[in-house]
Structure 1
Amino acid sequence: MTEPIVNAAWLQANLKNPNLILLDASFKENQSNIKTDLENIQIKGARFFDIKNTFSDNNNTLPNTIPSPEKFEFEAKKLGINKNSTIVVYDNLGIYSSPRAWWLFKVMGHQNVAVLDGGLPEWISQKYPVESIPEIPNYAIGNFEAKFDPELIKSKEQILENIQTKDSVLIDARAENRFKGIGSEPRPGLRSGHIPGSINMPYTQLLRNGKFLPKEELVKILKTDGRPLIFTCGSGVTACIDLIAYELIGKNPKSVYDGSWTEWGQLENLPIEN
Protein backbone atom coordinates (compact mmCIF):
# COMPACT_ATOMS: atom_id res chain seq x y z
CA MET A 1 0.00 0.00 0.00
CA THR A 2 1.33 3.40 -0.94
CA GLU A 3 -0.96 5.41 1.37
CA PRO A 4 -1.30 4.97 5.15
CA ILE A 5 -5.09 5.19 4.96
CA VAL A 6 -7.85 3.60 2.88
CA ASN A 7 -11.52 4.54 2.69
CA ALA A 8 -14.56 2.39 3.38
CA ALA A 9 -15.37 1.92 -0.32
CA TRP A 10 -11.87 0.54 -0.96
CA LEU A 11 -12.17 -1.88 1.93
CA GLN A 12 -15.60 -3.09 0.84
CA ALA A 13 -14.25 -3.71 -2.67
CA ASN A 14 -11.29 -5.70 -1.32
CA LEU A 15 -12.91 -7.71 1.48
CA LYS A 16 -12.78 -10.92 -0.54
CA ASN A 17 -9.07 -10.63 -1.21
CA PRO A 18 -7.67 -13.86 0.34
CA ASN A 19 -4.58 -11.99 1.56
CA LEU A 20 -6.58 -9.27 3.32
CA ILE A 21 -6.67 -9.37 7.10
CA LEU A 22 -8.90 -6.89 8.89
CA LEU A 23 -7.91 -5.96 12.44
CA ASP A 24 -10.05 -4.26 15.08
CA ALA A 25 -7.66 -2.29 17.30
CA SER A 26 -10.35 -0.66 19.45
CA PHE A 27 -9.67 0.17 23.10
CA LYS A 28 -12.14 -0.85 25.79
CA GLU A 29 -11.48 2.52 27.43
CA ASN A 30 -9.19 5.46 26.71
CA GLN A 31 -7.44 8.28 28.53
CA SER A 32 -9.31 10.85 26.44
CA ASN A 33 -12.55 9.49 27.94
CA ILE A 34 -14.18 9.27 24.51
CA LYS A 35 -17.28 7.08 24.58
CA THR A 36 -18.76 4.80 21.95
CA ASP A 37 -21.92 2.75 21.64
CA LEU A 38 -20.24 0.41 19.14
CA GLU A 39 -18.12 -1.64 21.54
CA ASN A 40 -19.97 -4.91 20.84
CA ILE A 41 -19.94 -4.57 17.05
CA GLN A 42 -17.21 -5.25 14.51
CA ILE A 43 -16.78 -5.18 10.76
CA LYS A 44 -17.72 -8.59 9.44
CA GLY A 45 -14.72 -10.91 9.56
CA ALA A 46 -12.47 -8.66 11.67
CA ARG A 47 -9.92 -10.05 14.13
CA PHE A 48 -9.23 -8.32 17.45
CA PHE A 49 -5.81 -6.70 17.71
CA ASP A 50 -5.44 -6.17 21.47
CA ILE A 51 -2.95 -3.33 21.87
CA LYS A 52 -3.36 -3.01 25.63
CA ASN A 53 -2.93 -6.64 26.68
CA THR A 54 -1.26 -8.50 23.83
CA PHE A 55 0.67 -6.08 21.64
CA SER A 56 2.33 -4.14 24.48
CA ASP A 57 5.19 -4.95 26.86
CA ASN A 58 3.21 -5.92 29.95
CA ASN A 59 6.40 -6.12 32.02
CA ASN A 60 6.98 -2.41 31.51
CA THR A 61 5.44 -0.04 34.08
CA LEU A 62 4.69 2.43 31.28
CA PRO A 63 1.40 1.84 29.41
CA ASN A 64 1.22 0.73 25.76
CA THR A 65 4.98 0.36 25.30
CA ILE A 66 6.10 -1.60 22.28
CA PRO A 67 6.54 -5.36 22.79
CA SER A 68 9.65 -7.26 21.79
CA PRO A 69 9.86 -8.32 18.14
CA GLU A 70 9.70 -11.95 19.30
CA LYS A 71 6.45 -11.41 21.18
CA PHE A 72 4.93 -9.36 18.38
CA GLU A 73 5.78 -12.03 15.83
CA PHE A 74 4.37 -14.81 18.02
CA GLU A 75 1.08 -12.99 18.61
CA ALA A 76 0.75 -11.88 14.99
CA LYS A 77 1.15 -15.49 13.87
CA LYS A 78 -1.62 -16.52 16.30
CA LEU A 79 -3.90 -14.04 14.54
CA GLY A 80 -3.17 -15.80 11.25
CA ILE A 81 -1.10 -12.95 9.84
CA ASN A 82 1.35 -13.85 7.08
CA LYS A 83 4.35 -12.16 5.52
CA ASN A 84 2.25 -11.40 2.43
CA SER A 85 -0.87 -10.24 4.29
CA THR A 86 -2.54 -7.00 3.30
CA ILE A 87 -3.55 -5.53 6.66
CA VAL A 88 -6.26 -2.95 7.28
CA VAL A 89 -6.70 -1.81 10.86
CA TYR A 90 -9.56 0.22 12.34
CA ASP A 91 -11.10 1.24 15.66
CA ASN A 92 -14.59 2.02 16.91
CA LEU A 93 -13.93 5.72 17.59
CA GLY A 94 -13.16 6.62 13.96
CA ILE A 95 -9.47 7.43 14.30
CA TYR A 96 -7.93 6.84 17.71
CA SER A 97 -6.02 3.64 18.49
CA SER A 98 -5.79 2.22 14.97
CA PRO A 99 -2.82 4.42 13.96
CA ARG A 100 -0.89 2.90 16.89
CA ALA A 101 -1.47 -0.58 15.45
CA TRP A 102 -0.42 0.68 12.00
CA TRP A 103 2.80 2.08 13.47
CA LEU A 104 3.56 -1.14 15.34
CA PHE A 105 3.44 -3.09 12.09
CA LYS A 106 5.72 -0.53 10.46
CA VAL A 107 8.24 -0.85 13.30
CA MET A 108 8.12 -4.63 12.85
CA GLY A 109 8.95 -4.28 9.17
CA HIS A 110 5.52 -4.95 7.62
CA GLN A 111 4.83 -2.31 4.99
CA ASN A 112 1.55 -3.55 3.52
CA VAL A 113 -0.70 -2.02 6.18
CA ALA A 114 -3.22 0.84 6.25
CA VAL A 115 -5.75 2.45 8.58
CA LEU A 116 -9.44 2.57 7.69
CA ASP A 117 -10.23 6.29 7.56
CA GLY A 118 -13.25 6.92 9.76
CA GLY A 119 -13.08 3.45 11.25
CA LEU A 120 -16.18 1.56 12.34
CA PRO A 121 -18.48 4.64 12.50
CA GLU A 122 -17.74 5.49 8.86
CA TRP A 123 -18.19 1.85 7.82
CA ILE A 124 -21.60 1.74 9.49
CA SER A 125 -22.62 5.09 7.97
CA GLN A 126 -22.02 3.54 4.54
CA LYS A 127 -24.27 0.61 5.52
CA TYR A 128 -21.56 -1.99 4.99
CA PRO A 129 -21.81 -5.35 6.82
CA VAL A 130 -21.13 -5.65 10.55
CA GLU A 131 -21.59 -8.38 13.12
CA SER A 132 -21.64 -8.89 16.86
CA ILE A 133 -18.16 -9.55 18.22
CA PRO A 134 -17.84 -13.36 18.47
CA GLU A 135 -15.89 -15.49 20.88
CA ILE A 136 -12.23 -15.29 19.88
CA PRO A 137 -11.68 -18.09 17.39
CA ASN A 138 -8.50 -20.00 16.70
CA TYR A 139 -6.92 -19.00 13.41
CA ALA A 140 -4.57 -20.99 11.24
CA ILE A 141 -1.09 -20.01 12.39
CA GLY A 142 0.48 -17.46 10.07
CA ASN A 143 4.09 -17.12 8.96
CA PHE A 144 4.56 -13.44 9.90
CA GLU A 145 8.17 -12.40 10.50
CA ALA A 146 9.09 -9.35 12.56
CA LYS A 147 11.97 -7.31 11.16
CA PHE A 148 12.46 -4.64 13.79
CA ASP A 149 13.34 -1.14 12.54
CA PRO A 150 14.96 0.81 15.41
CA GLU A 151 14.90 4.05 13.43
CA LEU A 152 11.13 4.36 13.99
CA ILE A 153 11.29 4.49 17.78
CA LYS A 154 13.05 6.91 20.13
CA SER A 155 14.14 6.68 23.78
CA LYS A 156 14.25 9.40 26.45
CA GLU A 157 18.02 9.55 26.02
CA GLN A 158 17.61 10.32 22.33
CA ILE A 159 14.98 12.96 23.12
CA LEU A 160 17.29 14.55 25.69
CA GLU A 161 20.09 14.67 23.11
CA ASN A 162 17.77 16.19 20.52
CA ILE A 163 16.91 19.07 22.87
CA GLN A 164 20.53 20.14 22.41
CA THR A 165 21.12 19.24 18.76
CA LYS A 166 17.68 20.13 17.38
CA ASP A 167 18.37 17.66 14.58
CA SER A 168 14.71 16.57 14.64
CA VAL A 169 11.44 18.39 15.28
CA LEU A 170 9.52 17.02 18.29
CA ILE A 171 5.74 17.20 17.88
CA ASP A 172 3.38 16.75 20.86
CA ALA A 173 -0.13 15.47 20.04
CA ARG A 174 -1.67 16.27 23.45
CA ALA A 175 -4.32 18.95 24.02
CA GLU A 176 -3.05 22.51 24.27
CA ASN A 177 -3.89 22.92 27.97
CA ARG A 178 -1.81 19.87 28.87
CA PHE A 179 1.03 21.01 26.64
CA LYS A 180 1.06 24.42 28.35
CA GLY A 181 0.84 22.87 31.80
CA ILE A 182 -2.49 24.53 32.66
CA GLY A 183 -4.53 21.33 32.56
CA SER A 184 -4.14 18.35 34.85
CA GLU A 185 -2.68 15.13 33.49
CA PRO A 186 -5.12 12.18 33.31
CA ARG A 187 -2.53 9.92 34.89
CA PRO A 188 -1.64 10.70 38.54
CA GLY A 189 1.89 11.58 39.60
CA LEU A 190 2.96 13.37 36.42
CA ARG A 191 4.34 16.87 36.21
CA SER A 192 2.61 19.34 33.90
CA GLY A 193 4.14 20.93 30.84
CA HIS A 194 6.03 19.73 27.79
CA ILE A 195 9.45 18.65 26.57
CA PRO A 196 11.66 21.71 25.86
CA GLY A 197 11.69 22.72 22.21
CA SER A 198 8.66 20.63 21.24
CA ILE A 199 5.74 22.06 19.28
CA ASN A 200 2.10 21.36 19.95
CA MET A 201 -0.16 19.82 17.32
CA PRO A 202 -3.24 18.39 19.09
CA TYR A 203 -4.38 15.30 17.21
CA THR A 204 -8.00 16.49 17.39
CA GLN A 205 -7.16 19.38 15.05
CA LEU A 206 -6.19 16.92 12.32
CA LEU A 207 -9.51 15.08 12.29
CA ARG A 208 -13.07 15.91 11.31
CA ASN A 209 -15.97 13.57 12.07
CA GLY A 210 -13.55 10.79 12.91
CA LYS A 211 -11.61 11.06 9.64
CA PHE A 212 -8.37 12.74 8.65
CA LEU A 213 -8.70 16.18 7.13
CA PRO A 214 -8.20 16.29 3.36
CA LYS A 215 -4.57 16.60 2.27
CA GLU A 216 -5.01 20.16 1.07
CA GLU A 217 -6.15 21.19 4.55
CA LEU A 218 -3.39 19.24 6.28
CA VAL A 219 -0.79 20.99 4.11
CA LYS A 220 -2.00 24.36 5.40
CA ILE A 221 -1.90 23.25 9.06
CA LEU A 222 1.25 21.14 9.15
CA LYS A 223 4.50 22.95 8.47
CA THR A 224 7.79 21.07 8.09
CA ASP A 225 11.29 22.17 7.17
CA GLY A 226 12.64 18.84 5.95
CA ARG A 227 14.07 17.71 9.30
CA PRO A 228 13.13 14.31 10.74
CA LEU A 229 10.00 14.33 12.90
CA ILE A 230 9.56 12.72 16.31
CA PHE A 231 6.06 12.33 17.74
CA THR A 232 5.03 12.22 21.38
CA CYS A 233 1.79 12.33 23.39
CA GLY A 234 0.62 10.86 26.69
CA SER A 235 1.54 7.22 26.16
CA GLY A 236 2.47 6.81 22.49
CA VAL A 237 -1.03 6.25 21.07
CA THR A 238 -2.33 9.56 19.72
CA ALA A 239 1.22 10.47 18.65
CA CYS A 240 0.64 7.96 15.85
CA ILE A 241 -2.38 9.96 14.65
CA ASP A 242 -0.15 12.98 14.14
CA LEU A 243 2.46 10.78 12.49
CA ILE A 244 0.01 9.51 9.87
CA ALA A 245 -1.25 13.03 9.18
CA TYR A 246 2.30 14.16 8.46
CA GLU A 247 2.91 11.00 6.42
CA LEU A 248 -0.03 11.97 4.20
CA ILE A 249 1.69 15.21 3.19
CA GLY A 250 5.43 14.51 3.32
CA LYS A 251 8.10 11.85 3.52
CA ASN A 252 10.33 13.27 6.28
CA PRO A 253 11.77 10.46 8.44
CA LYS A 254 9.30 9.87 11.28
CA SER A 255 9.55 8.15 14.65
CA VAL A 256 7.69 7.94 17.97
CA TYR A 257 9.00 8.63 21.46
CA ASP A 258 7.38 5.55 22.93
CA GLY A 259 7.65 6.53 26.60
CA SER A 260 6.02 9.87 25.83
CA TRP A 261 4.78 12.12 28.65
CA THR A 262 3.98 9.19 30.95
CA GLU A 263 7.71 8.55 31.15
CA TRP A 264 9.05 12.09 30.80
CA GLY A 265 6.59 13.65 33.23
CA GLN A 266 7.40 11.29 36.10
CA LEU A 267 11.19 11.64 35.96
CA GLU A 268 12.25 14.63 38.05
CA ASN A 269 15.69 14.86 36.46
CA LEU A 270 14.32 15.56 32.97
CA PRO A 271 13.69 19.19 31.91
CA ILE A 272 10.22 20.55 31.20
CA GLU A 273 8.71 23.79 29.91
CA ASN A 274 5.30 25.34 30.50
Structure 2
Amino acid sequence: MLISTSELNSILDNPDVVIADTRSFKEYSEGHIPGAVHLDLFAFHWIDTTKKGIENFNDQARKLFSFLGVTSEKKVIFYDSVSGMLAARGVWMLMYFSHQNVSMLDGGITKWKKENLSIETKANNFKPSNFLGKINPDIITGFEHIRDNLDNLKIIDARSTGEYDGSIVRAAQTGHVPRSINIDWNQNISEDGTFKNDDELSQMYDFPKDSEIVTYCQGAYRAANSFLVLKKLGFQNVKVYLGSWGEWGNNMDLAVEE
Protein backbone atom coordinates (compact mmCIF):
# COMPACT_ATOMS: atom_id res chain seq x y z
CA MET A 1 0.00 0.00 0.00
CA LEU A 2 3.03 2.28 0.28
CA ILE A 3 5.53 3.17 -2.42
CA SER A 4 8.85 4.92 -1.80
CA THR A 5 9.99 8.01 -3.67
CA SER A 6 12.85 6.09 -5.30
CA GLU A 7 10.53 3.30 -6.46
CA LEU A 8 8.03 5.76 -7.94
CA ASN A 9 10.84 7.70 -9.62
CA SER A 10 11.96 4.49 -11.35
CA ILE A 11 8.54 3.84 -12.97
CA LEU A 12 7.51 7.35 -14.06
CA ASP A 13 7.69 6.40 -17.74
CA ASN A 14 5.63 3.23 -17.38
CA PRO A 15 2.39 3.65 -19.41
CA ASP A 16 0.56 1.33 -16.99
CA VAL A 17 1.10 3.70 -14.06
CA VAL A 18 -1.52 6.30 -13.11
CA ILE A 19 -0.33 8.99 -10.68
CA ALA A 20 -2.97 11.10 -8.96
CA ASP A 21 -2.12 14.32 -7.11
CA THR A 22 -4.83 14.77 -4.47
CA ARG A 23 -3.77 18.23 -3.26
CA SER A 24 -5.50 21.48 -4.24
CA PHE A 25 -5.35 22.55 -7.88
CA LYS A 26 -3.29 25.59 -6.84
CA GLU A 27 -0.64 23.34 -5.30
CA TYR A 28 -0.76 21.00 -8.30
CA SER A 29 -0.31 23.85 -10.79
CA GLU A 30 2.69 25.20 -8.86
CA GLY A 31 4.53 21.92 -9.37
CA HIS A 32 3.78 18.20 -9.35
CA ILE A 33 5.34 14.82 -10.03
CA PRO A 34 5.88 14.34 -13.80
CA GLY A 35 2.90 12.69 -15.46
CA ALA A 36 0.56 13.19 -12.50
CA VAL A 37 -3.06 14.21 -13.04
CA HIS A 38 -4.98 16.32 -10.55
CA LEU A 39 -7.81 14.62 -8.65
CA ASP A 40 -9.71 16.62 -6.05
CA LEU A 41 -10.90 13.87 -3.71
CA PHE A 42 -12.06 16.41 -1.13
CA ALA A 43 -14.93 17.34 -3.45
CA PHE A 44 -16.22 13.80 -3.00
CA HIS A 45 -17.79 13.92 0.46
CA TRP A 46 -20.22 11.15 1.34
CA ILE A 47 -22.08 10.83 4.63
CA ASP A 48 -25.11 8.69 3.78
CA THR A 49 -24.65 5.02 4.70
CA THR A 50 -28.21 3.85 4.22
CA LYS A 51 -28.51 1.05 1.65
CA LYS A 52 -29.48 3.59 -1.03
CA GLY A 53 -26.70 5.90 0.08
CA ILE A 54 -24.04 3.20 -0.34
CA GLU A 55 -25.40 2.32 -3.79
CA ASN A 56 -25.10 5.97 -4.81
CA PHE A 57 -21.57 6.13 -3.38
CA ASN A 58 -20.61 3.07 -5.44
CA ASP A 59 -21.96 4.68 -8.62
CA GLN A 60 -20.19 7.98 -7.96
CA ALA A 61 -16.91 6.27 -7.13
CA ARG A 62 -17.02 4.18 -10.31
CA LYS A 63 -17.53 7.37 -12.34
CA LEU A 64 -14.61 9.00 -10.56
CA PHE A 65 -12.24 6.09 -11.23
CA SER A 66 -13.41 5.83 -14.84
CA PHE A 67 -12.55 9.51 -15.20
CA LEU A 68 -9.13 8.81 -13.64
CA GLY A 69 -8.57 6.04 -16.18
CA VAL A 70 -8.25 3.06 -13.85
CA THR A 71 -8.23 -0.39 -15.46
CA SER A 72 -7.32 -3.75 -13.96
CA GLU A 73 -3.81 -3.55 -15.50
CA LYS A 74 -2.98 -0.12 -14.11
CA LYS A 75 -0.86 0.54 -11.06
CA VAL A 76 -2.44 3.54 -9.35
CA ILE A 77 -0.46 5.81 -7.03
CA PHE A 78 -2.04 8.58 -4.98
CA TYR A 79 0.02 11.28 -3.34
CA ASP A 80 -0.50 14.17 -1.01
CA SER A 81 1.72 16.76 0.70
CA VAL A 82 2.79 14.01 3.15
CA SER A 83 1.50 10.48 3.84
CA GLY A 84 -1.79 12.25 4.23
CA MET A 85 -5.53 11.70 4.44
CA LEU A 86 -6.46 12.53 0.84
CA ALA A 87 -4.04 10.03 -0.70
CA ALA A 88 -5.13 7.49 1.92
CA ARG A 89 -8.76 8.03 0.97
CA GLY A 90 -7.90 7.26 -2.66
CA VAL A 91 -6.07 4.05 -1.70
CA TRP A 92 -8.91 2.89 0.56
CA MET A 93 -11.53 3.60 -2.12
CA LEU A 94 -9.70 1.55 -4.75
CA MET A 95 -9.16 -1.28 -2.25
CA TYR A 96 -12.92 -1.12 -1.66
CA PHE A 97 -13.30 -1.89 -5.37
CA SER A 98 -10.83 -4.81 -5.03
CA HIS A 99 -8.11 -3.05 -7.03
CA GLN A 100 -5.02 -4.39 -5.27
CA ASN A 101 -2.38 -2.60 -7.34
CA VAL A 102 -2.73 0.72 -5.53
CA SER A 103 -0.28 2.64 -3.36
CA MET A 104 0.27 5.88 -1.52
CA LEU A 105 3.55 7.74 -1.94
CA ASP A 106 5.14 7.55 1.51
CA GLY A 107 6.18 11.04 2.51
CA GLY A 108 4.23 12.64 -0.31
CA ILE A 109 5.58 15.44 -2.48
CA THR A 110 7.36 16.97 0.53
CA LYS A 111 9.80 14.05 0.60
CA TRP A 112 9.94 14.01 -3.23
CA LYS A 113 11.05 17.66 -3.33
CA LYS A 114 13.46 17.21 -0.44
CA GLU A 115 15.25 14.58 -2.51
CA ASN A 116 15.43 17.00 -5.48
CA LEU A 117 13.46 14.69 -7.76
CA SER A 118 11.97 16.17 -10.92
CA ILE A 119 8.90 18.42 -10.86
CA GLU A 120 6.76 19.76 -13.71
CA THR A 121 4.09 22.45 -13.90
CA LYS A 122 2.17 21.54 -17.07
CA ALA A 123 -1.27 20.03 -16.47
CA ASN A 124 -1.71 16.44 -17.64
CA ASN A 125 -4.88 15.15 -19.28
CA PHE A 126 -7.00 12.26 -18.06
CA LYS A 127 -7.30 9.13 -20.20
CA PRO A 128 -10.74 7.86 -19.15
CA SER A 129 -11.65 4.17 -18.89
CA ASN A 130 -14.75 2.19 -18.05
CA PHE A 131 -14.03 1.20 -14.46
CA LEU A 132 -16.29 -1.29 -12.71
CA GLY A 133 -14.32 -3.03 -9.95
CA LYS A 134 -15.72 -5.58 -7.54
CA ILE A 135 -17.10 -4.31 -4.24
CA ASN A 136 -15.27 -5.54 -1.13
CA PRO A 137 -17.82 -5.12 1.68
CA ASP A 138 -15.27 -6.18 4.31
CA ILE A 139 -13.56 -2.78 4.57
CA ILE A 140 -16.55 -0.45 4.78
CA THR A 141 -19.29 -0.02 7.35
CA GLY A 142 -22.34 2.12 7.99
CA PHE A 143 -24.07 3.44 11.08
CA GLU A 144 -26.38 0.45 11.55
CA HIS A 145 -23.57 -2.10 11.95
CA ILE A 146 -21.82 0.14 14.47
CA ARG A 147 -25.00 0.93 16.39
CA ASP A 148 -25.88 -2.77 16.64
CA ASN A 149 -22.38 -3.92 17.63
CA LEU A 150 -21.03 -1.19 19.91
CA ASP A 151 -19.93 -3.70 22.55
CA ASN A 152 -18.00 -5.89 20.11
CA LEU A 153 -16.05 -3.33 18.09
CA LYS A 154 -12.83 -1.43 18.66
CA ILE A 155 -13.79 2.02 17.39
CA ILE A 156 -11.02 4.49 16.61
CA ASP A 157 -11.89 8.18 16.40
CA ALA A 158 -9.17 9.70 14.21
CA ARG A 159 -10.26 13.30 14.87
CA SER A 160 -8.62 15.93 17.06
CA THR A 161 -9.06 15.88 20.84
CA GLY A 162 -11.34 18.94 20.62
CA GLU A 163 -13.70 17.23 18.19
CA TYR A 164 -13.68 14.08 20.30
CA ASP A 165 -14.52 15.80 23.60
CA GLY A 166 -17.09 18.11 21.99
CA SER A 167 -15.30 21.44 22.47
CA ILE A 168 -15.10 21.73 18.66
CA VAL A 169 -18.60 21.47 17.17
CA ARG A 170 -19.00 20.08 13.64
CA ALA A 171 -22.44 18.44 13.82
CA ALA A 172 -25.82 18.78 15.53
CA GLN A 173 -24.53 16.65 18.41
CA THR A 174 -21.14 17.00 20.09
CA GLY A 175 -18.79 14.35 21.41
CA HIS A 176 -18.04 10.95 19.94
CA VAL A 177 -19.40 7.51 19.12
CA PRO A 178 -19.88 5.59 22.40
CA ARG A 179 -16.85 3.50 23.49
CA SER A 180 -14.62 4.98 20.78
CA ILE A 181 -10.93 5.61 21.46
CA ASN A 182 -9.36 8.87 20.31
CA ILE A 183 -6.11 8.46 18.32
CA ASP A 184 -5.60 11.61 16.25
CA TRP A 185 -4.51 10.60 12.74
CA ASN A 186 -1.71 13.18 12.87
CA GLN A 187 0.07 10.85 15.28
CA ASN A 188 0.51 8.38 12.40
CA ILE A 189 2.94 10.71 10.65
CA SER A 190 6.66 11.24 11.35
CA GLU A 191 8.32 14.66 11.21
CA ASP A 192 9.53 13.92 7.67
CA GLY A 193 5.97 13.30 6.45
CA THR A 194 6.26 9.50 6.15
CA PHE A 195 4.36 6.98 8.27
CA LYS A 196 5.99 6.20 11.61
CA ASN A 197 7.70 2.83 11.90
CA ASP A 198 5.74 -0.24 12.95
CA ASP A 199 7.14 -0.26 16.49
CA GLU A 200 5.92 3.29 17.15
CA LEU A 201 2.56 2.62 15.51
CA SER A 202 2.05 -0.66 17.39
CA GLN A 203 2.41 1.16 20.71
CA MET A 204 -0.43 3.47 19.68
CA TYR A 205 -2.67 0.76 18.24
CA ASP A 206 -2.20 -1.85 20.94
CA PHE A 207 -5.17 -4.11 20.22
CA PRO A 208 -5.57 -7.88 19.82
CA LYS A 209 -4.85 -8.77 16.20
CA ASP A 210 -8.23 -10.49 15.79
CA SER A 211 -10.20 -7.37 16.81
CA GLU A 212 -12.85 -6.00 14.49
CA ILE A 213 -11.79 -2.37 14.19
CA VAL A 214 -13.77 0.56 12.81
CA THR A 215 -12.14 3.92 12.05
CA TYR A 216 -14.04 7.18 11.68
CA CYS A 217 -13.50 10.95 11.67
CA GLN A 218 -15.71 13.71 10.22
CA GLY A 219 -15.93 12.55 6.60
CA ALA A 220 -13.81 9.36 6.37
CA TYR A 221 -10.58 10.93 5.11
CA ARG A 222 -8.54 10.90 8.31
CA ALA A 223 -10.19 7.54 9.07
CA ALA A 224 -8.80 6.17 5.79
CA ASN A 225 -5.31 7.16 6.90
CA SER A 226 -5.73 5.25 10.17
CA PHE A 227 -7.16 2.32 8.18
CA LEU A 228 -3.95 2.11 6.12
CA VAL A 229 -1.82 2.20 9.26
CA LEU A 230 -3.81 -0.65 10.82
CA LYS A 231 -3.53 -2.73 7.64
CA LYS A 232 0.20 -1.97 7.56
CA LEU A 233 0.41 -3.36 11.11
CA GLY A 234 -1.26 -6.59 10.01
CA PHE A 235 -4.79 -6.11 11.35
CA GLN A 236 -7.08 -8.12 9.09
CA ASN A 237 -10.56 -6.97 10.12
CA VAL A 238 -10.57 -3.17 9.68
CA LYS A 239 -13.43 -1.11 8.31
CA VAL A 240 -13.83 2.58 7.54
CA TYR A 241 -17.11 4.13 8.67
CA LEU A 242 -17.92 6.05 5.51
CA GLY A 243 -20.54 8.34 7.06
CA SER A 244 -18.34 9.15 10.06
CA TRP A 245 -19.32 12.01 12.41
CA GLY A 246 -20.92 13.92 9.55
CA GLU A 247 -23.62 11.25 9.59
CA TRP A 248 -23.55 9.97 13.19
CA GLY A 249 -23.39 13.38 14.86
CA ASN A 250 -26.29 14.69 12.79
CA ASN A 251 -28.57 11.72 13.47
CA MET A 252 -30.40 12.53 16.70
CA ASP A 253 -31.47 8.89 17.03
CA LEU A 254 -27.89 7.72 17.56
CA ALA A 255 -26.25 7.75 20.99
CA VAL A 256 -23.17 9.90 21.69
CA GLU A 257 -20.70 10.29 24.55
CA GLU A 258 -18.94 13.49 25.57
TM over 0.5: yes
Question: Which residue of the other structure, out of 160, 175, 180, is the alignment partner of 2:147?
Answer: 160
The 3 A distance-change label for structure 1 pair 266 and 56 is: closer
TM-score (norm 1): 0.83
State the match for 1:171 in structure 2: 156
Range 42-51 or range 228-237, more displaced: 42-51
Give how far 1:258 is off: 0.8
TM-score (norm 2): 0.88
Q: In 2, Cα distance between the equivalents of 1:6 and 1:236?
A: 22
Unaligned 5+ residue runs, structure 1? 29-35
AA aligned opposite 1:43: I
Q: Does 1:137 align with 2:125?
A: yes
RMSD over aligned CA atoms reads: 2.4
> What is the percentage of aligned positions where both structures have the same residue?
26
Give how far 1:82 is off: 1.3
1:37-76 equivalent positions in 2, closer than 5 A: 40-53=30-43, 55-56=44-45, 68-76=57-65
Q: In 1, Cα distance between the equivalents of 2:13 and 2:122?
A: 20
The 3 A distance-change label for structure 1 pair 258 and 194 is: same
Give how far 1:8 is off: 0.6
Q: Which has the higher helix share?
A: 2
Aligned residue for 1:104, secondary structure, equals: helix
Tell me the number of residue pairs that the alignment of Structure 1 and Structure 2 aligns: 252
The 3 A distance-change label for structure 1 pair 175 and 234 is: same
Give how far 1:133 is off: 4.9
8 Å CA contact retained: 1:94, 1:121:
no
8 Å CA contact retained: 1:230, 1:254:
yes
Q: In 1, Cα distance between the equivalents of 2:36 and 2:61?
A: 19
8 Å CA contact retained: 2:83, 2:104:
no
Q: Does 1:11 align with 2:1?
A: no
Aligned residue for 1:75, secondary structure, equals: helix
Give how far 1:94 is off: 4.4
Aligned residue for 1:17, secondary structure, equals: coil
Unaligned 5+ residue runs, structure 2? none
8 Å CA contact retained: 2:22, 2:39:
yes
Q: Does 1:120 align with 2:103?
A: no
Range 206-215 or range 38-47, more displaced: 38-47
